[in-house]
């Protein structure tokens, strides 16, 4: 069986409830690291799932995040996508794969 392909930006394609389920399981520090350099669309979609005060603090932390190794960002993104794949199940993602 081929591996499931699911890239970090594919979080955009999850339903609101699926995304919320993933976010509940991901550490906030890992999420901020994973979103370093991500699309504004993805950042907005994730921030929309948070209470207003939390979203404001989240965006502030993201803006102030300092220089970061790409390997650390990629590791954080893999952690988040791993949660998504585990929570949603292989059938949910069809031919997509973890990347």
Cα separation, 73 vs 29, in Å, equals 11
Alpha carbon 96 to chain centroid, angstroms: 16
Q: Is 97 helix (H, G, I), strand (E, B) or coil?
A: strand
How confident is the model over 14-72, as pLDDT tens digits? 888 889 989 999 998 999 999 988 899 999 999 998 899 999 999 999 988 888 899 99
Q: What is the mean pLDDT of residues 80-99?
A: 65
pTM summary value: 0.79
Q: What is the mean pLDDT of residues 77-83?
A: 92
Look up residue 5 and give its two tokens. Answer: 């392909």
Give pLDDT, residue 1: 52
Q: Are the C-beta atoms of 92 and 5 separated by less than 8 Å? A: no
């Amino acid at each position: 069986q081929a591996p499931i392909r699911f890239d970090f930006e594919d979080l955009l394609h999850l339903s609101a409830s699926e995304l919320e389920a993933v976010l509940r399981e991901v550490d906030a520090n890992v999420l901020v690291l994973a979103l370093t350099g991500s699309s504004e669309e993805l950042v907005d979609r994730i921030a929309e799932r948070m209470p207003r005060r939390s979203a404001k603090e989240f965006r502030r932390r993201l803006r102030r995040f300092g220089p970061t190794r790409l390997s650390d960002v990629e590791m954080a993104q893999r952690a988040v996508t791993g949660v998504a794949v585990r929570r949603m199940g292989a059938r949910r993602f069809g031919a997509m794969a973890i990347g």
